[in-house]
């Protein structure tokens, strides 16, 4: 299956290349396929005259160069990709009808790892969550699991995402990332305490992409063939082990190589040292949602103490042959789901289901899903049509449905699952917030060295915040999570512990 699929994709690539007249080697041509006579000297009016507009090779070469860039991703611009394969190893047909999880199924994948905040060629040493996005080319369509290395997120509602990103991006005035702006925002977001604690630990500076775990962060829904659903979280466990850099190591690595994450992955695959990850799931019955004192569909929370089941293994074994065509034009979207996997009601995920597909219509283009890296191995048949750069080969005049002349059939067994609802529409925060507890549990789980590094990393940025109220509020959040954590941070910042304690006492969890 694996080789057939890739043979098919490979053939498709060759056919696409031939269709555009591209050749691996041979005479140099213009884009219309005509041979080029001179690629070194422009056509000029005599030895001293101006260049001529009729030199179509010169004009076309400059025009194409002028248009080489597409917009970079609005977040996660810096990334590196690799091809591979996922093998399903457990029988979980009781939970999901998704074929990608039928035991023994081998599915080609493309993974893109990334940093989040800075631009396309920014240093990979910077503190950030890391993206871990996987596109599964399943027989039932593409499924994208667009996750991060850390298992939670800063916010729980998509409506906050653009503001959060604006505060984290470089200042529109200085073009420099500024902790004054970052913590001005986060001092209004107590639910960020858990994620901030993780990202300021050394997990925020991984040693390599190979030595990173991955997480869905959100709960999704697994739906079985009887239409029953359960909530599921996914975790990629690195078989290379989790390895991080401390601040001193970061400075040392950055001084000699700010591409260390990309270089490590590309080099490992080139020398056939293929990285692998096991995929684990946690499962909750719908009735269990009410039994937690926090909301289990809140993306700022993990599900502690819930057993994990291993469901498969992924290997990455092929570098892209062209970074732009594959890594940059790849379009991962939480909306790319397959029967048996659905979004949960997580408010952050609900926004993501819209946002990625939307940005990609702009970033990659209306027909971006026709590109070899994005197109599914499953046949695509619908009435969506036209748009810029459409290179599908459409043979029928039936671009509507239903039709007797060219039936495109619906399959009622593929309908979405149903969710019982009641009540009225609202604009209210979640009821069970519990903003600080899991941050404290994470802190207490760190060993002495990791705690010291976290305090130093966080104090380094918080110490740059000039506004004393912002600093006090941030310290109170960390104190509320854990008294030792907040006290040590306050000491590092030479703050007033009595004030911090009082501010923490007034916080509601």
Question: CB of residue 71 vs ligand HEM: minimum separation in angstroms?
Answer: 8
Q: Does 374 bind ligand HEM (CB under 6 A)?
A: no
Q: How many Cα atoms are found within 13 Å in the side-chain-facing hemisphere of 341?
A: 27
Q: Which stretch binds ligand HEM (CB under 6 A): 71-79, 236-244, 401-409, 445-453?
A: 71-79
Site for ligand HEM, residues 407 to 446, rule: CB under 6 A: none
Of 177, 211, 249, 355, the one binding ligand HEM by CB under 6 A: 355
Instruction: Specify the residue, 344 or 360, whose C-beta has the smaller distance to ligand HEM.
Output: 360
Residue closest to ligand HEM, measured at CB: 131
Q: Residue 504: which residues within 8 A CB-CB, separation 6 or more?
A: 476, 477, 479, 480, 486
Could you give the string, one character per residue 329-348, with x where binding to ligand HEM holds by CB under 6 A and - elsewhere?
-xxx---------------x
Q: Does 185 bind ligand HEM (CB under 6 A)?
A: no
Q: For residue 346, give both structure tokens.
A: 């997580």
Q: Does 280 bind ligand HEM (CB under 6 A)?
A: no
Instruction: Specify the residue, 206 or 351, whose C-beta has the smaller distance to ligand HEM.
Output: 351
Q: Does 320 bind ligand HEM (CB under 6 A)?
A: no
Of 127, 198, 301, 352, the one binding ligand HEM by CB under 6 A: 352
Of 359, 366, 370, 433, the one binding ligand HEM by CB under 6 A: 359
Question: CB of residue 339 vs ligand HEM: minimum separation in angstroms?
Answer: 22
Of 79, 296, 320, 340, the one binding ligand HEM by CB under 6 A: 79
**CA–CA separation, 270 vs 16, rounded Å?**
26
Of 80, 115, 125, 148, the one binding ligand HEM by CB under 6 A: 148
Q: Which stretch binds ligand HEM (CB under 6 A): 259-267, 311-319, 327-335, 389-397?
A: 327-335
Instruction: Specify the residue, 156 or 451, whose C-beta has the smaller distance to ligand HEM.
Output: 156
DSSP bridge partners of 131: 114, 148
For the purposes of burial, counting CB atoms within 10 Å of the CB of 450, is it exposed (0-12), middle (13-18) or buried (19 or more)? middle
Question: CB of residue 61 vs ligand HEM: minimum separation in angstroms?
Answer: 29
Q: Which stretch binds ligand HEM (CB under 6 A): 33-41, 145-153, 303-311, 401-409?
A: 145-153
* Nearest C-alpha neighbor of 84 from the set 376, 314, 327: 314
Could you give the string, one character per residue 108-127, with x where binding to ligand HEM holds by CB under 6 A and - elsewhere?
----x-x-------------
Q: Which stretch binds ligand HEM (CB under 6 A): 70-78, 118-126, 221-229, 308-316?
A: 70-78
Q: Residue 384: which residues within 8 A CB-CB, separation 6 or more?
A: none
Q: To which residue do tokens 């290379």 refer?
A: 240
Q: Does 158 bind ligand HEM (CB under 6 A)?
A: yes
Q: Does 363 bind ligand HEM (CB under 6 A)?
A: yes
Instruction: Specify the residue, 387 or 407, whose C-beta has the smaller distance to ligand HEM.
Output: 387
* Nearest C-alpha neighbor of 241 from the set 266, 205, 278: 278
Q: Residue 345: which residues within 8 A CB-CB, separation 6 or more?
A: 297, 419
Q: For residue 51, give both structure tokens.
A: 């260049």
DSSP bridge partners of 144: 135
**CA–CA separation, 366 vs 334, rounded Å?**
17
The set of catalytic residues is 76, 148
Q: Residue 283: which residues within 8 A CB-CB, separation 6 or more?
A: 95, 222, 230, 231, 232, 306, 309
Q: Residue 10: which residues within 8 A CB-CB, separation 6 or more?
A: none
Of 131, 190, 368, 495, the one binding ligand HEM by CB under 6 A: 131
**CA–CA separation, 43 vs 57, rounded Å?**
9
Q: For residue 452, give both structure tokens.
A: 């010291």
Site for ligand HEM, residues 219 to 278, rule: CB under 6 A: none
Buried b (16+ CB within 10 A) or exposed e, 406-440: eeeeeeeeeeeeeeeeeeeeeeeeeeebbbbbbbb
Q: Does 360 bind ligand HEM (CB under 6 A)?
A: yes
| Residues at the site binding ligand HEM, with contacts judged by CB under 6 A | 73-76, 79, 112, 114, 131, 133, 146-148, 153, 158, 161, 217, 299, 330-332, 348, 351-352, 355-356, 359-360, 363
């Amino acid at each position: 299956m694996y080789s057939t699929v890739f043979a098919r994709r490979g053939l498709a690539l060759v056919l696409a290349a031939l269709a555009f007249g591209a050749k691996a080697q041979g005479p140099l041509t213009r884009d219309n396929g005509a041979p080029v006579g001179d690629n070194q000297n422009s056509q000029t009016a005599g030895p001293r005259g101006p260049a001529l507009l009729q030199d179509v090779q010169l004009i076309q070469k400059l025009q194409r160069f002028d248009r080489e860039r597409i917009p970079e991703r609005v977040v996660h611009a810096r990334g590196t990709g690799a091809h591979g394969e996922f093998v399903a190893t457990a029988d979980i047909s009781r939970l999901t009808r998704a074929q990608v999880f039928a035991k023994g199924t081998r599915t080609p994948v493309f993974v893109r790892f990334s940093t989040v905040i800075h631009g396309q060629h920014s240093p990979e040493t910077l503190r950030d969550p890391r993206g871990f996005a996987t596109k599964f080319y399943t027989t039932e369509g593409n499924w994208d699991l667009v996750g991060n290395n850390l298992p939670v997120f800063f916010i729980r509602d998509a409506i906050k995402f653009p503001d959060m990103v604006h505060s984290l991006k470089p200042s529109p005035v200085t073009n420099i990332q500024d902790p004054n702006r970052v913590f001005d925002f986060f001092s209004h977001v107590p639910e960020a305490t858990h994620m901030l604690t993780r990202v300021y630990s050394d997990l925020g500076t991984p040693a390599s992409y190979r030595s990173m775990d991955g997480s869905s962060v959100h709960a999704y829904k697994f739906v079985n063939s009887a239409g029953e659903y359960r909530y599921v979280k996914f975790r990629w466990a690195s078989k290379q082990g989790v390895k991080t850099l401390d601040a001193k190591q970061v400075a040392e690595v950055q001084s000699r190589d700010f591409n260390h994450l990309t270089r490590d992955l590309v080099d490992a695959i080139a020398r056939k040292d293929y990285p692998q990850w096991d995929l684990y799931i946690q499962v909750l019955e719908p009735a269990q949602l009410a039994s937690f004192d926090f909301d289990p569909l809140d993306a700022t929370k993990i599900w502690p103490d819930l057993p994990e089941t291993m469901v498969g293994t992924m290997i990455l074994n092929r570098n892209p042959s062209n970074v732009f065509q594959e890594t940059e034009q790849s379009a991962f979207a939480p909306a790319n789901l397959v029967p048996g996997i659905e979004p949960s009601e997580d408010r952050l995920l609900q926004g993501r289901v819209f946002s990625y597909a939307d940005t990609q219509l702009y970033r990659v283009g209306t027909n971006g899903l026709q590109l070899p890296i994005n197109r599914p191995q499953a046949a695509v048949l619908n009435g969506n049509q036209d748009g810029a750069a459409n290179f599908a080969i459409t043979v029928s005049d039936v671009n509507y449905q239903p039709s007797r002349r060219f039936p495109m059939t619906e399959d009622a067994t593929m309908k979405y699952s149903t969710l019982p609802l009641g009540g009225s529409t609202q604009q209210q925060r979640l009821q069970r917030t519990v903003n600080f507890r899991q941050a404290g549990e994470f802190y207490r789980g760190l060993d002495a060295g990791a705690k010291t590094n976290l305090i130093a990393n966080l104090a380094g940025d918080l110490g740059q915040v000039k506004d004393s109220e912002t600093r006090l509020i941030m310290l109170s959040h960390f104190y509320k999570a854990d008294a030792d954590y907040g006290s040590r941070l306050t000491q590092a910042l030479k703050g007033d512990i009595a004030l911090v304690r009082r501010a923490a006492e007034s916080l509601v969890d």
